[in-house]
Structure 1
Amino acid sequence: MNTIIYMVRHAESPYNEGTERTRGLTAKGKGDVKQVTEILKEEGIDVLVSSPYNRAIQSIEGLAQHLGLDIEIFEDLRERHFAEEMIDNLMSVISEKFDDFDYSLPGGESNFECQDRSVSVIKNILKQHAGKKVAIGTHGLVMTLMMNYFDSSYGLDFLNQLQKPDIYKLSFENLELKEVIRLWNGDF
């Protein structure tokens, strides 16, 4: 019995230091959410879950309204916490973390720690909702780390080519990832 997970990377969001949890979407991001809903509304999705961050929730809210479903929030799907202090060159730090999954800055978490907490949620979803279709409002790095756990070919190069938003359909047989199909094509 296959379980389908739709990873929905959040739409475009304005970056404002200190507003990780609360920042919403740009006007473009809000427009793209309509396309996310159009792509997913006929997929037969049974369950919606999300990171607690507003931009992830807002990226699947249109779908929730269309399907008449609530969005279940999981704290452990939140974006990775990089460090206590602001980071000047975030992409360099992210690159270093892909070379060493245990590397972390002071007060931050490693890729391994982020992957461990988020994959535990995915494993529970796969068990609890076996045979169903589940859409997840998520973040690029967390999504990459979750997919990397099941298939190590999803790494830094994959992360770097993601768009905002982006949608991947993952087909699981029990806890084994069988197929990945990209549904988003930014040409809408």
Structure 2
Amino acid sequence: MSKKVFLVRHCQAKGQEESAILTEEGFLQAEALSRFFEPYKIDHIISSPFTRALQTIEPTARVKGIKVEEDVRLTERILSATPMNDWYEELEKTFQDLDLSYEGGESSLEAMRRAQSVIQEIADHEAECIVLVTHGNLLALLLKSYDSMIGFQQWADLRNPDVFLLELKNFKTKRLYPL
């Protein structure tokens, strides 16, 4: 049997800061996500410690009776330590040049390696069905590490929430939610 890893982008939130909470719609999405996961025998949940990520998976963890493990490696990628008025265009450049980084920021390659280190640990974990909860940019880069065709446009097309299945047997990914 192939180990299954569900890669989850958090539900709709009120902001981007670490303490940003889910919106009213985001809390409803989190409950819907819990219903989506009902048929799966999830035995481990790992989440970014950001509030919006934890709130996204809390209903699922409660229903499954699983304690959420927080992992800072799943936090959102920092594009730059200083605000950028043209961040959207600068972010697009980082999908074309994976080594490009801005002052105080993380290159796409660095972020990919950080996220991949979590996947590598999961491969050795006894759990067979794992949920990882993260953020849009890091999720897109993690998907790109398994499929070079993933790029800026696929990041832009991500939803809140979004769920992809990663099969560790063949490292193939597939979008499952929203349908």
For normalisation by structure 2, the TM-score amounts to 0.94
SS in 2 for 1:96: helix
8 Å Cα contact 1:170-1:181 kept in structure 2: no
Give the structure 1 partner of residue 153 of structure 2: 157
Question: Quick check: 1:48–1:69 contact (8 Å CA) kept in 2?
Answer: yes
Deviation at 1:8, TM superposition (A): 1.2
Runs ≥4 in structure 1, deviation > 4 angstroms?
none
Unaligned runs of 5+ in 1: none
Deviation at 1:90, TM superposition (A): 2.1
Partner in structure 2 of residue 8 of structure 1: 8
Q: TM-score, normalization: structure 1?
A: 0.90
What is residue 139 of structure 1 aligned with on the other side? 135
Q: Deviations over 1:19-75 (max 9, x none)?
A: x21111111111111110010122111110011111111111000000010011111
**Counterparts of 1:113 and 1:181, CA distance in 2:** 24
Q: Which amino acid aligns with 2:177?
A: L
Corresponding residue of 1:178: 172
Task: Map 1:7-46 onto structure 2 (within 5 A).
Answer: 7-15=7-15, 20-46=17-43
User: How far off its partner does 1:178 sit?
Assistant: 3.3
Whole-angstrom distance in 2 between the partners of 1:81 and 1:53: 13
Q: Equivalents in 2 of 1:103, 1:178: separation in Å? A: 26
Q: Does 1:64 align with 2:61?
A: yes
Per the alignment, residue 104 of structure 2 pairs with: 107
Instruction: Quote the Cα distance in structure 1 between the aligned partners of 2:136 and 2:126.
Output: 23
Q: Distance in 2 between matches of 1:126 and 1:154?
A: 23
Give distance in 2, aligned partners of 1:89 and 1:125: 36
Q: Secondary structure at the match of 2:36?
A: helix
Q: Which amino acid aligns with 1:128?
A: H
SS in 1 for 2:168: strand
Structure 2 stretches lacking a partner, 5+ long: none
1:51/1:74 contact within 8 Å kept: yes
Could you tell me the percent identity over the aligned residues?
Answer: 28
Alignment-mate amino acid for residue 2 of structure 1:
S
Distance in structure 2 (CA, Å) of the matches to 1:121 and 1:127: 10
Structure 1 counterpart of 2:114, one-letter code: R
Aligned length: 179
What is the CA–CA distance in structure 2 between the aligned matches of 1:129 and 1:9, rounded to whole Å? 24
Aligned-partner SS, 1:134: strand
